[in-house]
Structure 1
Amino acid sequence: MHSKNAVITGAGSGIGRELALQLASLGHGLALADIDRQSLNETLIQARLAGAGPLQGYTLDVSDAAQVDDFAEQVLATFTTVDVLINNAGITRFGDFASTSPEAFRTVLDVNFWGVVHGSRAFLPALRASRGSLVNLSSLFGLIGVAGQAHYCASKFAVRGFTESLRQELKADGVHVACVHPGGVRTRIARSACFDQAVDDPQALVERLEKNTLKLSPTEAARVIIEGILQRRERILVGHDAKFIDLLQRLLPNAHTGLINRLLGRAAGQKRSAK
């Protein structure tokens, strides 16, 4: 992968930033995008110090198809070729379906799912030309559905189905298509989330989730993803929790959801109801 060009969305923090830094250390040319320009600038500085090849940053709202198309045109005008596209940008919210407005639900789908679709479409000709890698970030919650995350799970299941379908369509073109399922990773996604449902102490809830479930470092998550890209794996499970849930789903397809929701409820500090 040395000296090839990679595009990463959501590169301002978390897994996206770590992917950028590790690819920079391999001498990659990097086109990095994020909606938060300040965070993106910090990544650009660190990537330059890490040894990146040609390096450009772009302020981008992935939910806007026109912006993504313009972004792709600018990237290709600068880099000429794209060897790796990582559709990483994502958001979440907290709240059950009945408490979530249609607009809020749509916002999650627009970023997490349509952002992946827009990016894949805009860079598809370049990836066909390079026989490169298209890498889409789903989630552990693209494997199972959990209470209070209907919008996020819907978006990540959609990414999974879209990616698996696209993989079949691009096999003859030699394009590697990977779906990534990270488990609990210590990123800012929980702290950046909106609450659609009233809770007593939102900050305390986020802190409990971070302590009990978001344990894997972004550095390790990025290392696993890059290893998967190098090996051109089609399915990349990140973290012991993602591997456990995947196995549990296969072994106990009718019982795993209730068990997992109980475990997540305890991790969030919810009390069990009396029966």
Structure 2
Amino acid sequence: MSLAAPSETAPTTDSKVVVITGTSSGMGLAAAVAAAQAGWRTVATLRDPSRADALREAAVDAGVELDIRRLDVTDEAAATALVDAVIADYGHLDAVINNAGAGHLGTLENETVADVREVMEVNFFGVLHLSKAALPHLRASSGRLITVSSVGGVIGQPFNEAYCAAKFAVEGYMESLAPVAAALGVTVSVVEPGAVATEFVNNINLDRDAEVAAAGAYAPTLRAYLERTAAQFLNGAQTPAEAARTVLEALTADTPAFRLQTSDWARDFTAIKLTDVDGSAVLGLTGTWIG
């Protein structure tokens, strides 16, 4: 299952072991390098092996070693096999960081339910596949289960219904699981980034003009949303390395919080929802995003 790479070495068992998903770019890549720099034996997984070059180069530049392996998180059998292989190679598993995810832009009238199901498969069920396979081993090591969510897992955002639904589901699942897992020694956390300057947005494969042209009655509001979001990513996005520091905090802090935001902006934004009993503050805010 391992991919040959200059940054890989033979398995060892003397360091704590973490599995990280979605490491081909962005936060996942930065988190993998940061974890290795912190002394963790890092199993960095990605869906497409042909996209591992940037990860390998980052590891070489940082002077760290990564164990790079293929994993499509939507494949439950593959997730189980990945965990089994890690245990066979290292004898233990101390943490999982569920970072893999896929963006999606759309609204209910203009997309199929199959589109929504696909978003859920990656962003929600993909998290469950690896988490379920890992939990027996995390119990054995009193380990950590960390999931990269989003501020969109707290506040629903226009034209992000499916994506936010998946992230809401992740947050609800992990918040419910946390006390159950804690009773057996496993720490559960979610990390909530705001805008991060990564390939994540580009990976939506969005042609703005085409999307607006196809939006019908939703065209004016979609255009307003896209203009607002483009400005936010241009002017206020964190770097992947900045956001990954919070992931590392969840991995290494003595007693990490359940919910960690990656920036002051993300903390202020999510706080609106967490004190918004009747929902008016959130809808009053997001309504301005679409004119």
Is TM (by shorter chain) over 0.5?
yes
For residues 212-223 of structure 1, what are the structure 2 equivalents within 5 Å? 212-213=232-233, 215-223=237-245
Query: How far apart are 1:170 and its partner, in Å?
Result: 1.1
Matched residue, 1:250: 274
Q: Distance in 2 between matches of 1:21 and 1:210?
A: 28
Counterpart pick for 1:224 among 226, 246, 254:
246
Q: Distance in 2 between matches of 1:208 and 1:246?
A: 18
Matched residue, 2:5: none
Name the TM-score, length of structure 1 as normaliser. Answer: 0.87
1:44 aligns with 2:43: no
Matched residue, 2:32: 20
1:177-219 deviation digits (Å, cap 9, x = unpaired): 10111111111111111459832599xx878634424611111
Runs of 4 or more above 4 Å deviation: 194-197, 205-208
Is the contact made by 1:128 and 1:175 (CA closer than 8 Å) also made in structure 2?
A: yes
Query: How far apart are 1:79 and its partner, in Å?
Result: 2.0
Query: How far apart are 1:230 and its partner, in Å?
Result: 2.2
Counterpart pick for 1:198 among 185, 202, 211:
211
Matched residue, 1:268: none
1:253-275 deviation digits (Å, cap 9, x = unpaired): 3222223323543xxxxxx3xxx
Q: Distance in 2 between matches of 1:256 and 1:241?
A: 16
Look up the SS of the partner of 2:139 in the other structure: helix
Amino acid across the alignment from 1:221: A
Q: Distance in 2 between matches of 1:241 and 1:256?
A: 16
Moved more, 10-19 or 220-229: 220-229
Matched residue, 2:41: 29
Q: Distance in 1 between matches of 2:183 and 2:288?
A: 42
Is the contact made by 1:23 and 1:52 (CA closer than 8 Å) also made in structure 2?
A: no
1:133-186 deviation digits (Å, cap 9, x = unpaired): 100121101101112111101100000011111111111211111011111111
Name the TM-score, length of structure 2 as normaliser. Answer: 0.83
Q: 1:258 to 1:207 in 2, by over 3 A?
A: closer
For residues 232-247 of structure 1, what are the structure 2 equivalents within 5 Å? 232-247=256-271
Q: Distance in 1 between matches of 2:132 and 2:251?
A: 20
Look up the SS of the partner of 2:183 in the other structure: helix
Residues matched between the structures, number: 264
Amino acid across the alignment from 1:198: E
1:209 aligns with 2:229: yes
Q: Distance in 1 between matches of 2:213 and 2:53?
A: 36
Matched residue, 1:131: 142
For residues 87-236 of structure 1, what are the structure 2 equivalents within 5 Å? 87-194=98-205, 198-200=211-213, 209-213=229-233, 215-231=237-253, 232-236=256-260
Q: 1:89 to 1:207 in 2, by over 3 A?
A: farther
Matched residue, 1:65: 76
Q: Distance in 2 between matches of 1:94 and 1:101?
A: 12
Matched residue, 1:269: none
Is the contact made by 1:27 and 1:51 (CA closer than 8 Å) also made in structure 2?
A: no
Is the contact made by 1:186 and 1:210 (CA closer than 8 Å) also made in structure 2?
A: no
Query: How far apart are 1:228 and its partner, in Å?
Result: 3.0
Sequence identity of aligned pairs in percent? 33
Q: Distance in 1 between matches of 2:202 and 2:226?
A: 6
Query: How far apart are 1:50 and its partner, in Å?
Result: 2.5
Q: Distance in 1 between matches of 2:20 and 2:259?
A: 18
What RMSD in Å do the two structures reach over aligned CA positions? 2.5
Is the contact made by 1:185 and 1:218 (CA closer than 8 Å) also made in structure 2?
A: yes
Q: Distance in 1 between matches of 2:272 and 2:186?
A: 31
